Each structure stands twice: as C-alpha cells, then as structure tokens.
Amino acid sequence: MDASNALPASLDLTGRRALVTGGSRGIGRAIAITLAARGAAVAVNYARGEAAAREVVAAIEDAGGKAVAVGFDVSDADAVAAGFKQVTEALGGLDILVNNAGISIDALLMRAKEEDWETLQRVNLRGTLLCSKAATRSLLRAKASGRIINITSVVGEQGNAGQTMYAATKAGVIGMTKSLAKEVADTEIRINSIAPAVIQTPMLEQVSQETIDYMVSKIPVGRTGKTEEVAALVHYLSSDECGFATGACFDISGGRATY
C-alpha cells in the first residue's frame, strides 16, 4: 500500500506495526484500513466474527498493504499475552495499539442486571487495561517510541440517562489514559484517548430512528459522525506529528462536547 501520496514524513506510518482491537467492523474496521493506507502493517483483532476480520485483512491486502487477523479475548489475561506474542511475531514488533474493543449495554440503573455490569467492566475496562499493560511493557522493553490510543465515548465525559454503567466504564478509560500517560511521560510513548459522539456504524441499524433522531438533536453539527473521521484522528495521534500531546482526551462529537 503506497503511503507516499503527498503525505509529509511526520504522518507517514511506513514501517510501523499496529494492533487494532475489535478491528473487524465499525470504527475498528475504518481505523485498521486507514492505518494500513498510511503505511502501517496492521493486526486486526477479533473475539468473535473471524470472517469479518479476514474480510478487513483481505481489503487491506488487495490495496497493497500488510495485515493479519488475530483472534483473542481482550478481557482474558492469558489470551492477551498469547495474542500479543502472535502479533509481534507476525509483524516483527508493535509500535501502535488502538484499544477499540468495547461493548454497550443500556439500561436505567434501577433495572440494570449485575451480570451486565460485570460484562461491561470486563470488556471496556479490564480489556483496555490488559492490552495497554502488554503494549507498554513491549515498548519499554524495546526502548521504542510508541502510541496507545483508547477509544472511549462522550458519554464517559457527560453521561447519558440509561447508560450509567456504560458511562462509568468509559470514564474509567479516560482516567486510565491520563494516569498511564504520566507514568511513561519521560519516554517516547504517547497515550491518548478519543471520545466520539454517535458514529454511523452497523450497530445503529439496531437502534430506532426515534432514538437516533434524539441523539443527533444533541449534536450541533446536526448529523452522526463517520467512522472515517474517527480513523483520521487516530492516524494523527499515531503519527510523529503527535509528539507533545499525551494524557489527553480528544473529543470528536460534532460540537456536543465544548470544553
């Protein structure tokens, strides 16, 4: 995949190795394809949906890029260790981690199920923590520069009725990002998070038009975001252009978040 399309050297990811968790669909798919288009070799992680992950790999390879599908559960410590070993062996190392894997279970807190809370914590918080720990260890051991980008949500900053549990886990990801960034700030590792508002993904097909209209009514730009727009921000944060920003949460919310 030719990354030389007038890209300045500081945005060119040629030679970089990236892992995108939950990379088989939606935002993760767009991120994997965008990073590959900018020159990175990409590992597309999936927990379920191997066929979809292999479709993303095929799309990258058809465009001349390098990619591999790697299946592991981000919430399982042993699986993460084995998965990271597989990624580094397949790609020759790791420079960029995008913690995109996550789930949403919506319910008013008074009606929420305990098992749903456990599931949200396991995937959204534990999964992000385990992968960040593995990536940080790998980068520190290699004495390499690197990037970790955590996909959180504007709901983690502002809250949403009916999403108390989800909001708590996504707020936790923001706090995790800020703290870990400080722990490695004296190295060349930069860690940031991205907080999207509602993004146009296949998941929205399961949501009523009334609910979508309500969510869009809160967005001053007046539309849902595009997966490619999130991926473009991930590209910037993965590049050498982003050398001074760390521990930050970048909103991509169409003006919903204004602070």
Name the residues annotated as catalytic.
Answer: 166
d(CA 223, CA 102): 23
Residue 1 to residues 21, 59, 76, 111: CA-CA distances in angstroms? 21, 11, 33, 49
End-to-end CA distance of the chain: 38
- In the Cβ-directed half-sphere of 78, how many Cα atoms lie within 13 Å? 0
Task: Map tokens 């007046």 to a residue.
Answer: 222
The whole-angstrom separation of Cα 96 and Cα 90 is 14
Q: Which of 235, 258, 232, 237 is nearest to 248 (CA)?
A: 237
Task: Give the span between the Cα atoms of 30 and 27, in whole angstroms.
Answer: 5
Helices (H), the chain: 26-37, 50-62, 77-91, 114-120, 127-142, 155-158, 164-183, 209-217, 227-238
Tokens encoding 251? 């909103």
Q: Which residues contact 130 (CB under 8 A, 6 or more apart)?
A: 74, 75, 77, 80
Let me know: does 254 contact 237? Beta carbons within 8 Å: no
Burial of 241 (0-12, 13-18, 19+ CB in 10 A): middle
